[in-house]
Amino acid sequence: MSTNMETAIEFANKVRVELGHLTSEQIADLTDGLEADIASSLDDGADIGSAKKYATDLLAAAGMSNGVEVVPNAVDVFINKARRWLVSISDLEPAWWIFRAWVATQLIGWLLFRDQSSSPGYLEWRYMQAGGIVVLGVMLYLSVRIGRAKPTKWKKLLSISHVVLAIAGLAFMFVGPRGETNGVDNGNPIFPRSLCEYVPVPDVVGLPVADAKEVLAGMGMAGTFFDQEAMTNLAQVPDVVIVLQQDPRGGSEVCRVSEIQYMVDLVVDLAAPMVTTSLPLQTTPTTVLPEESEATTTTSVKPKATTTTSP
C-alpha cells in the first residue's frame, strides 16, 4: 500500500468523524470508495485541505447540508465514537515515535551492559548518561525518520519490531523497577542477589575521618562525606574531623560486589573540634581543642573509637 493510500485512508476516516451526526448508513453511502479517490488526488499532487471543509463540501453537494433531520441510533453513536477515538489515536503517532526511541535506547543499554549486571538499560545508562543521551538522540532521529517515511518495503519488519519494542517497553516499565536489579541504594547500585556478598558495615561513628576511611577500606568500602551544617557533599575532609553519623548504620548488612566499593554516607561537622589521632598505630591520640589550644587529652581508642576530654 502506498504512502498516499495510507494518508487517504487516514483522511477519509477524519471525514467520517466530521460526518458523525449522520447515521452509519448515510456515512457509508457518502464515503464509499472515498479512499481510492483521495489517493488518486494525492498522486496528482493535489491539496486536499482540511477534513472539516471536505465533509462540508461533500454534504452540501449531496444535498444533505440543510434541513436534514437525522437522529443517529445507539449503534451509530457507538460507531461514531469509536471512529473518533481511532482517529485521535492516530494523532498520537509522534508520542509513539518518542516512546519507541526511548525503549530502543534502554534495549541497547541492556545489550551493551548486560554482562556487568542483569539490570535493564536505564540503570547502566545512569553511569554513562552522556552516552545514553547521545544514543537516545540518534534513536529519536531514526524513529521520526522511519515514522514519517513509512517505507512500505519495511512494513512487515516494522510491525515485528514494534511488537518487540512494546514488549521490551512493558518489561522496562513494570518488571524492571520492581525487580531486585534496579535502582540505586545510598549511592550504590543494587545488584542481583546472586552477585552479592553480604557483609556488615563497620561502625565508624566517633572515629576521625582518617581512621574511618581505613576501617571502611578494610571491608572493601569507602565513605562519601557530608557536612552536618550545609549537608553538602564534601570533596575533601581533614583527616582529624570526627564522623558524627553514618548511613547505613554500623552492623547492618549490605550487598557488596567484588571489586566495586560500597559507599557509606558519613556526616561530619567541619566547625567542630578536631582530633589528631590515628588507628591502630597510635593508641593514645592527642586531642587539641581550638578554644583551649594548650590543653591535651588522652584518649583510649579501640576499634570503636571515642574521644574523651579532660580539663
Partner 1 sequence: MVNSNDESLDRSQLVKGVLDLAVLSALSQEDGYGYDVVRRLRSAGLVDVAEASVYGTLRRLFATGMLTSYVVASDEGPHRKYYGMTPVGRDSIAAQRDQWVAFCEVINTIIKTKEDN
Considering only residues 168 to 197 of the shown chain, the ones binding partner 1 according to CB under 8 A are none
Kindly state whether residue 77 participates in binding partner 1, applying the rule CB under 8 A.
no
What is the x/- site pattern for partner 1, positions 14-43, by CB under 8 A?
Answer: ---------------xx-xxxxxxxxxx--
Based on CB atoms, which residue is closest to partner 1, 28 or 134?
A: 28
Q: Are residues 308 and 292 in contact, defined by beta-carbon separation less than 8 angstroms?
A: no
Taken in order 82, 93, 122, 115, is the CA torsion positive or negative? Answer: positive
Among positions 3, 25, 27, 59, the unique one binding partner 1 when judged by CB under 8 A: 59
- Rounded Cα distance between 241 and 229, Å, is 14
Q: Are residues 277 and 208 in contact, defined by beta-carbon separation less than 8 angstroms?
A: yes
Nearest to 298 by CA among 310, 281, 289: 310
Based on CB atoms, which residue is closest to partner 1, 57 or 253?
A: 57
| 51-59, 107-115, 247-255, 267-275 -> range binding partner 1 (CB under 8 A) | 51-59
**At closest approach, how far in Å is the CB of 49 from partner 1?**
9
Kindly state whether residue 9 participates in binding partner 1, applying the rule CB under 8 A.
yes
* Residues that contact partner 1, how many (by CB under 8 A): 31
Based on CB atoms, which residue is closest to partner 1, 55 or 301?
A: 55
Kindly state whether residue 79 participates in binding partner 1, applying the rule CB under 8 A.
no
Buried b (16+ CB within 10 A) or exposed e, 98-113: eebbbbbbbbbbbeeb
- Rounded Cα distance between 129 and 123, Å, is 10
**At closest approach, how far in Å is the CB of 32 from partner 1?**
6
Nearest to 165 by CA among 101, 109, 118: 101
**At closest approach, how far in Å is the CB of 90 from partner 1?**
17
**At closest approach, how far in Å is the CB of 66 from partner 1?**
13
Kindly state whether residue 11 participates in binding partner 1, applying the rule CB under 8 A.
no
Q: Are residues 206 and 307 in contact, defined by beta-carbon separation less than 8 angstroms?
A: yes
Considering only residues 248 to 287 of the shown chain, the ones binding partner 1 according to CB under 8 A are none
Nearest to 106 by CA among 64, 58, 167: 167
The single residue listed with the C-alpha cell 462540508 is: 56
The contact set with partner 1 (CB under 8 A) reads 1-2, 5, 9, 29-30, 32-41, 44, 46, 48, 53-64
